[in-house]
Amino acid sequence: MTEKIEKTDLVWLPESLAKKLKEVQDDKLIEDMILEYINETKTYLQTDIKNFEDEVLIYRGSMIKAKQAFKEAKDEQLNAMYALWEKSEKDIGQIRDLVSKAKKELEPLKEELDEIKTLMSSIDKFGIQSLLEIIKEINSHYYGETKDIIDFLFKNYKREK
């Protein structure tokens, strides 16, 4: 069985190459021109693939650097936090000591304030109120003959201690 070779049209070639091929009548020359185009395309593809592989390697390297930088930043942050924590632990101890010392120094004042409070609560407030009313009454009549009597009483009848 013999196969009949059917003439085909070139579809996937650049337009400039397709025009050149249509003008050429020699099949061997057409084949050579197509092989040359394929070899050039193959070289470009290989170069593109090589460049792509290089870009992938660069990207991976960048990701490794970013990962390392992130780890370093995280470690530095953790170390700073630990240092701050340790410092605050020391400061808290010092603050507790200061508070304890201040509390001990204020303890005698508390006792004195309690004593003053006790004394103040033992004061006869009713008696003071009555005394104030008497003073007001005296003050309202502190003129003329009443004034002379009050002055005489104060001068001549002092309470001795």
- What's this model's pTM, rounded to 2 decimal places? 0.38
The answer to whether residues 21 and 10 touch, using CB atoms and an 8 Å cutoff, is yes
Task: Supply the pLDDT for residue 112.
Answer: 86
The domains of the chain are located at 15-152
27 pLDDT exceeds 90?
A: no
pLDDT digits (tens, 9 = 90+) for 114-140: 888 888 888 888 888 888 888 888 777
Q: Which amino acid appears at position 52 of this protein?
A: F
Query: 121, 114, 93, 92: which is closest to 106 by C-alpha?
Result: 114
CB within 8 Å of 147: residues ≥ 6 apart = 141
Q: Phi then psi for 142, rounded to 5 degrees?
A: -85, 65
